Amino acid sequence: MRDETIVTVIHKVEDTGITRRKKDACIVVIYGAELGRKYNIEGREMTIGRATVNDICVSQDSVSRTHATISADDSGVKIRDNESTNGTYVNDHKIHEAYLKDGDLIKVGRSIFKFLTGDNIESSYHEEIYRLSTVDGLTQIFNKRYFTETLERELSRARRYDRPLALMMFDLDHFKRCNDTYGHRAGDHVLRQVAEMVRDRARKVDVVARYGGEEFAVILPEIELHGAAQFAEVVRKMVEDHNFVFEGRQIPLTISVGVAELEPHIANADDLIQIADARLYRAKQQGRNRVVFLDGDN
């Protein structure tokens, strides 16, 4: 017998803009195996689960054999959790049954699907595929490819107009321990929360990206080294003070940060990344949960 209560969320059509069956609908894999694959919803029930007999097979230990069911009725498209072990999530909310709206994110195990619907679903699908080329599916911030291309452009612009440019790189301290202790789903939850916090704190001109694994990068145009270091310290303290909770369990978390600025001897974007990354490594060597922005002691 489970202790937690899961609320069934069924909204009225007129309140939520739920799509009726006459409109096309599909779900697209935006994080996990078969990235970008589209599954059309054509009026019949579709099952998602670990077993190969499902319409959508998600081969992960955290996914139940028949995890969830998607179906369509006169009110729209809905998803139902089939009493799975680890639950079905819509926009990070655990659900028993819920109607889907255009753009909703469905999480089953560690895979994430995006629900698309409308009068021109093919156009929406191709827009989503383009977005996947620039955005990290898990955290919904920019990916490494977009970061690298943007840093090259910003570096060229800073050189051309003799403007300051800084780069901040950070990663989550003891992240493997977090995964081992609380599970990979908790680790994914923490990554998403950190990404959202930093993105919301950054300026519109800043570029926040997931560089890889638990490492993130922030491009800071028009900021010199000490200003960038001050921003890095704000982010470090914000993460340290935040109450990360997953399924009722508190997860203590800190980050280590390296900051660098564009200088005359830096030839290209790779050099700037290397300097920031080396300072990040030194922050970890010095005990973690700190910002390093100089080659000597801060």
**Tokens found for residue 50:** 């670990």
First to last CA, the chain: 54
**Tokens found for residue 186:** 């908790």
Angle value at C-alpha 178, between 185 and 287, nearest 5 degrees: 150
42 assigned to active site: no
Reduce the DSSP state of residue 12 to 3 states and report it. coil
**Tokens found for residue 179:** 């995964």
Amino acid, res. 130: Y
Contacts 24+ apart (CB under 8 A), 46-49: 46/70, 46/71, 47/82, 48/108, 49/82
Q: Name the helix (H) or strand (E) containing 112.
A: strand 111-118
What is the C-alpha radius of gyration for the chain, rounded to an integer number of angstroms? 22
| Catalytic residue selected from 214, 222, 233, 240 | 214
Angle value at C-alpha 134, between 132 and 137, nearest 5 degrees: 45
Sign of CA pseudo-dihedral 214, 215, 219, 224: positive
Residues belonging to the active site: 214
